[in-house]
Amino acid sequence: MIDLSTDNRVAIEARCRTLGWLGTNETIKALAPAGEGNMNRTLRVTTDQRTLVLKQSVPFVAKYPQIAAPADRIVVENRFYDAVKNDGPLSMRMPARIGFDADNRLLALEHVGSAGDFLHLYDGGFSDVQGRGYFTGLVYWLWRLHAHQGVDVAAFENREMRALNHQHIFVIPLMPANGAAIAPGLEEAAARFAADEALSNIAAQLGDIYLGKASHKSRACLLHGDYYPGSWLHHDRLGVMVIDPEFAFFGPAEFDVGVMLAHLTFSGFSQQDLMGTLRSYVTPPGFDYNLAIRFAAIEIIRRLLGIAQLPLKANAEQRITWLNTARMMIG
């Protein structure tokens, strides 16, 4: 398998040319990290004619090679691009796909935007009018996805990625002394949550729904699976684009909605803002608001007490307020 690293330009250029991803006279001028990702290898490739992104999955977490990870996650990501390619409103808000090289687990995408992702939301939120426009686009994209028909369900089992995420969302955050680098001042709250049996029981039920072991009332649909500001990119013309569907699966829409709501909470949205947001989301049949709120709550908890921490600016007091609110949301 080709090594997707900045010092392997000659081999990468040769492979891209063989695959028809580069024109005969097109040459690579520079290779650089595409962004701040953890899971995969991602490179920004500047040629003498344009810029593209190469993304490769390896059988471990690219940033932490000692941690194993499902090797075929890029295959699922590629399938997602396939599944939405004929749906204009969905595909127009994702980078154009240049190609997929199954042998090298390599996906080539158009490079979009120049201003990076939306993780800055945690440091100010959608405060300006333009920001609200971005947000409408994101909610519209999500309901279009959840309404998307004709999906090959078996192609989106994504078992191994779901098993990995299940541990990180529903199990590890509520384990005592779980080794997570939680913010100083949250120790007491972490211990209190770990000792809360009712909470653990509900987390286990939600985890079963996530894994498809327990049913949900809503019509199952294709989910993005990781719908948070790290998967949203600024785009000069469209405002916002969506990337990184490697956790996609066929399941409850409430999961994507809940995750989004959790991250809008971290971005400073008030309860009223959140309700306003949901008004522009057209729910799939049987959509259960309580389930979405519970998924939102567990996402809040796991981002504060689990391994996958966020670049939040909030102090301990604010974090404890969020945790207590999440506990109330769980019911």
Ligand X SMILES: Nc1ncnc2c1ncn2[C@@H]1O[C@H](COP(=O)(O)OP(=O)(O)OP(=O)(O)O)[C@@H](O)[C@H]1O
Q: Is 211 helix (H, G, I), strand (E, B) or coil?
A: helix
190 binds ligand X (CB under 6 A): no
Other C-beta atoms lying within 10 Å of the C-beta of residue 156: 20
Binds ligand X (CB under 6 A): choice among 12, 31, 42, 121: 42
117 binds ligand X (CB under 6 A): yes
Q: Determine the interface stretch with Mg ion among 4-12, 20-28, 79-87, 242-250 (rule: CB under 5 A).
A: 242-250
Output 96 or 274, the one with its CB closest to ligand X.
Answer: 96
112 binds ligand X (CB under 6 A): yes
DSSP letter at 117? B
116 binds ligand X (CB under 6 A): yes
244 binds ligand X (CB under 6 A): yes
259 binds Mg ion (CB under 5 A): no
CA-CA distances (angstroms) from residue 235 to 1, 98, 111, 243? 32, 18, 10, 12
Rounded distance, CA 230 to CA 138, Å?
Answer: 13
Per-residue contact string for residues 38-77; x = within reach of Mg ion by CB under 5 A: -x--------------------------------------
Q: Determine the interface stretch with ligand X among 8-16, 123-131, 215-223, 242-250 (rule: CB under 6 A).
A: 242-250
Tokens found for residue 313: 């600016």
Q: Decide: 28 and 12 in contact? Cβ < 8 Å.
A: yes
The CB-nearest residue to ligand X is: 35
218 binds ligand X (CB under 6 A): no
Smallest distance from the beta carbon of 129 to Mg ion, in angstroms?
30
Binds Mg ion (CB under 5 A): choice among 101, 244, 254, 256: 244
Q: Decide: 58 and 39 in contact? Cβ < 8 Å.
A: no
Output 307 or 314, the one with its CB closest to Mg ion.
Answer: 307
Angle CA(87)–CA(88)–CA(91) in degrees, nearest 5? 80
DSSP letter at 168? I
Rounded distance, CA 240 to CA 234, Å?
Answer: 5
Q: Decide: 236 and 114 in contact? Cβ < 8 Å.
A: yes
Q: Could you list the residues that contact ligand X (CB under 6 A)?
A: 34-40, 42, 53, 55, 95, 109, 111-113, 116-117, 230, 233, 243-244, 246
